[in-house]
Amino acid sequence: MIFTIFTPAYNRANTLTQLYNSLKVQTINDFEWVVVDDGSTDKTEEIVNSFIIEGVLNIKYIKQNNGGKHRAINKGLDVAKGELFFIVDSDDYLLPNSLEIILKYYSDIKGDAAYIGVTGFRGFENGQVIGGKFFPNQITDSNLIERREKYKVTADLAHVLKTELFRKFYFPDINGEKFVAESIVWNRMSIEYKMRYFNEIIYIGEYLEGGLSSNSIKNRQKNSQYSTLLYKELVYNPNTKLRLKIKSLINYWRFAFCRPTSLENKFSFIEVNFLSIITMPIGYLYYLKDCWNNTIKVQKINNER
């Protein structure tokens, strides 16, 4: 089987049918659809069961207690049978030839151990790229950090990853926290692997009210252990240049002040040096700003998605 299309679902019964319909008309049908229901209280289970009864697609449905998207992805990786793992959110959908486009670019890097997968773009229904611009070339071999810093591509991207390699990068599981930016894993991948990026839209979506993106700052404040881990790792990532290192330190402090620990403890989690000291007051000002208005989207922080 070539693809595992993975969907984490939480109270999106009203949007799943659109995604289901887009999967039924794919020009490539060698895939399974794995849906992990992250503790929905609406009719998500009823809707997915109706899809299963229809018998058109190979659907695997799993329901678990609410633990956050990252834990749902970890579960999906556990059960995936496809060679490639493609995360498609429950409120989005694919173009009819999305899987065909992906295979066109994947075939050239399939056997190359230096690549962890291929990445296309997310777009709106009108064909506009979500959140940015294309690369200067049709095909670009890079990683998540370099594509932002070198190519200035901050658009929303759709990653399609080799399943076995993805399993080397399960999301961390911090007790009591339910949100971590997916980029914590993409950043870890960038140390060891390249991604093949291509300038085609393969994924249609929008930011719905109440979604993870629209609540990004609130989520990072409430899940500050994940947030500080994310930015600490960015600081020490070998692909991180000075400008991003400084920005990551500011964001580290921005969310470190959300943690009910002493300043000494906050410093113990990050190396004490000139940069960490001078960025602390700037991060504190952002922390105060967030306390006043915390509805800014994730792209306003550092375009990580």
CA distance 185 to 167: 11
pLDDT tens digits for the chain (305 residues)? 999 999 999 999 999 999 999 999 999 999 999 999 999 999 999 999 999 999 999 999 999 999 999 999 999 999 999 999 999 999 999 999 999 999 999 999 999 999 999 999 999 998 899 988 899 999 999 998 999 899 999 888 999 999 999 999 999 999 999 999 999 999 999 999 999 999 999 999 975 544 444 467 889 999 999 999 999 999 999 999 999 999 999 999 999 999 999 999 999 999 899 999 999 999 999 999 998 875 544 444 334 43
Strand, helix or coil for residue 30? coil
Q: What is the pLDDT of residue 215?
A: 66
In Å, what is the CA distance from 56 to each residue of 33, 96, 105, 227?
Answer: 11, 16, 27, 41
Give residue 33's identity as a one-letter amino acid code. Answer: W
Q: What is the pLDDT of residue 206?
A: 72
Residue with tokens 């330190």: 249
Rg from Cα positions in the chain? 19
CA distance 115 to 112: 6
Q: What is the pLDDT of residue 207?
A: 59
Strand, helix or coil for residue 163? helix
Q: What is the pLDDT of residue 305?
A: 37
128, two tokens: 């506009």
Q: Which residues of 85-114 are buried (b: 16+ CB within 10 A; e: fewer)?
A: bbbbbbbbbbbebbbebbbebbeebeeeee
Write the burial class of residue 66 (CB in 10 Å: 0-12 exposed, 13-18 middle, 19+ buried).
middle
* Beta strands per DSSP E along the chain: 3-9, 31-38, 59-64, 84-87, 93-94, 115-123, 139-142, 157-162, 194-204
CA distance 33 to 83: 13
**Residue 123 forms beta bridges with which residues?**
129, 204
The pTM score is 0.91
